[in-house]
Amino acid sequence: MPKTSRFIVGGILVAFAVGAAWIFFQRSASAPLPLAQGDSVASWDFRGVYLDGGTLEDKARSEIARLKNLLGSGEFTDYEIYVSIANQYELLGDGGNAYAYLGKAIREDSADNTGLAWYNLGVLLSRLGALQTARIAYEKATLIEPQISFYHYAYIEFLIQNMKNDTAAIEKAFTAAAVNFGQTSDMTDLRARWEKS
């Protein structure tokens, strides 16, 4: 290979590496929850249920545009709008934008009523295979809005499905739920399922 061709190929590879590093840094630096050590995301894209190249995809993109126009209008809080935009991106299978908009939602709500955004972040990161980061997000939802039993149930179910050998964490999660709600039939059934497995 001639020397000039090697320089061109080398330059392209360096430019690609710098670009990839910049995208990763931007995503991590602006994220409320950077990926936990040991986690990685092979691809931020997945097969979204609305990614049909037709009507459903157009509907989601149209909804994203409509929601973006509502930002700052006062009709809904920007937090609610950001979460809704993230949901539309998830329907399209665009995990990168879903992650970014959930991050905006979390930063937007200074009152710390962000349990839904943290829960959705846990669901998204679990889907993307970043399980340690998803675990942090699920738990954060239970800590921010401990009065919502669904977040506790979802967190425990996530632990049982993905980290069933971490009995200390599962017991801790059951205890936190019991402190907030007592022994509900849902939690009793979940515990029985875990112990049986």
Determine the 3-state secondary structure of 111 from DSSP.
coil
Q: Which CATH architecture has domain 3-196?
A: Alpha Horseshoe (1.25)
Cα dihedral angle (29, 35, 39, 43), rounded to 10 degrees?
Answer: -70
Amino acid at position 152, single letter = H
Per residue in 153-166, pLDDT tens? 999 999 999 999 99
CA 20 – CA 18 distance, rounded (Å) = 6
Weakly modelled stretches of the chain, pLDDT under 50? 7-29
Q: Tell me the pTM.
A: 0.82
So what's the pLDDT on residue 109?
Answer: 78
What are the start-end ranges of the H helices in the chain? 3-30, 55-70, 78-91, 95-108, 115-127, 131-144, 149-162, 167-181, 185-196
Beta-carbon contacts of 81 under 8 Å, excluding residues fewer than 6 positions away, are: 67, 68, 70, 71
DSSP 94: B
**Helix crossing, 3-30 with 95-108: angle to 10°?**
40
